[in-house]
Structure 1
Amino acid sequence: MAMVGLFWIAEGDVYVGAKPSGLGPGVRLTPEGVVALGDGQSGIHPWEDVRALSVTDVPVKSFMRQVGAVRSLAVGTVVNLALPMVPGRVDEAPATMTVTVESSGGRHELAAYVAAAVGYSPAETELSRALLSRLTEGAATMATTLAAMSEWGRSSGGGTPRGAERERLLREWAGGSGD
């Protein structure tokens, strides 16, 4: 599994945001369409009906967000050590993004968990949005782009690449120069 921009690529599967588990919300991109996963949002939006694909509520990486994540981790560790089995204690749910699918059937807002604990870089966020837009340019473009992302996921070894490599991949998949 690897994170590249707003995408989570697990072997050949491509998700917007984190790959969901159980009944958690998620959005999977397949050659057939945009698949809504999780409790309260199921179904598929076939590519031939999708006119636009966008994402909002994306947490952008900042120094203060990084400080907050470290502080939260430290406080959580202390609380878990001091109160490991307190009844009624609920862990905080992961943050979500909104993936909007505009289709001939209307506008559909889908939730997807955020995969980046401290947020996404501004560059990766914009490149990911460009890539989502590219996926709606036509069947051939969508098929070629998703195939490239899936193939990379199968051959990457499962590790998330460094920032510069993630940006290069996003530019390549979005149709810009990969160099």
Structure 2
Amino acid sequence: MAMVGLFWIAEGDVYLGAKPSGMAPGVRLTPEGVMGLGDGQSRLHLWEDVHALTMADVPLKSLLRRAGIVGGVAVETVMNLVLPERPLRSGEAPPMMTLRVESGGSGDTLRAYAAAAAGYSETEVGLSGAVLSRLTDGAATMATTLAAMADWGRTEGGAPRGAERERLLRRWADQEA
């Protein structure tokens, strides 16, 4: 399993944001459509009906965000040493992202947790948006792009570095149908 841009790819399954567990909200991209997962958003939007996919509330990588994560871990560690009877905190929930699904004259909002604790780079957000747009270009384009993403997920064994993630996103956004 690996994160590439806003996508979490695990053994051929493609998710937007973090792969959900239990009743946590999430979004899975399947050959059939965009599937909302979790409590209150379990539904499928068929690709043939989807006209646009737009992301919002995506946390961007910043020095402040990274410092906050490191600082939060440091403070929590000190507190656990000073007050050992205090139960360990599991930390805050990751930020939520929103996917707007436009289909047949109406829209729906699906939510998913961000998979990148320190946020996403602006380049990866932009390239991920291009991939999402590509998925709405028609059945052949969607099938080719999603298949390329899933195939990559089945054959790769780890999270790629930033430059490799950007290269993959560019390749998926520019796939020939």
TM-score exceeds 0.5: yes
Which residue number in structure 1 is paired with residue 172 of structure 2?
Answer: 173
Q: How many residues are treated as equivalent by the alignment?
A: 175
Structure 2 distance, partners of 1:73, 1:90, is 10
8 Å CA contact 2:145–2:175 kept in 1: the answer is no
Structure 2 distance, partners of 1:79, 1:45, is 46
Which residue number in structure 2 is paired with residue 19 of structure 1?
Answer: 19
Paired residue secondary structure (1:146) = helix
Which letter maps to 1:47? Answer: W
Which letter maps to 1:160? Answer: A
Identity, % of aligned positions: 68
Structure 2 distance, partners of 1:120, 1:174, is 18
- CA change 1:108–1:80 in 2 (3 A) is farther
Which residue number in structure 2 is paired with residue 163 of structure 1?
Answer: 162
Which residue number in structure 2 is paired with residue 114 of structure 1?
Answer: 114
Which letter maps to 1:62? Answer: S
Residue segments in structure 2 that go unaligned for 5+ positions in a row: none
Which letter maps to 1:120? Answer: Y
- CA change 1:108–1:75 in 2 (3 A) is same
After superposition, the C-alpha distances for 1:87-137 in whole angstroms (9 at most, x for unaligned) are 7x7842221100110001611111100000100011001000111011000
Paired residue secondary structure (1:142) = helix
Structure 2 distance, partners of 1:22, 1:172, is 32
Structure 2 distance, partners of 1:50, 1:20, is 22
8 Å CA contact 2:57–2:96 kept in 1: the answer is yes
- CA change 1:90–1:153 in 2 (3 A) is closer
Structure 2 distance, partners of 1:115, 1:25, is 12
Residue segments in structure 1 that go unaligned for 5+ positions in a row: none
After superposition, the C-alpha distances for 1:55-97 in whole angstroms (9 at most, x for unaligned) are 110111111111111111112223344456657x784222110
Report 1:1-179 matches (<5 A). Answer: 1-83=1-83, 86=86, 91-104=91-104, 106-157=106-157, 159-175=158-174
Q: CA RMSD in A?
A: 1.8
Q: Which moved more, 1:138-147 or 1:90-99?
A: 90-99
- CA change 1:169–1:77 in 2 (3 A) is same
TM-score normalized with structure 2 length: 0.93
Structure 2 distance, partners of 1:85, 1:110, is 40
Structure 1 distance, partners of 2:90, 2:152, is 37
Which letter maps to 1:129? Answer: G
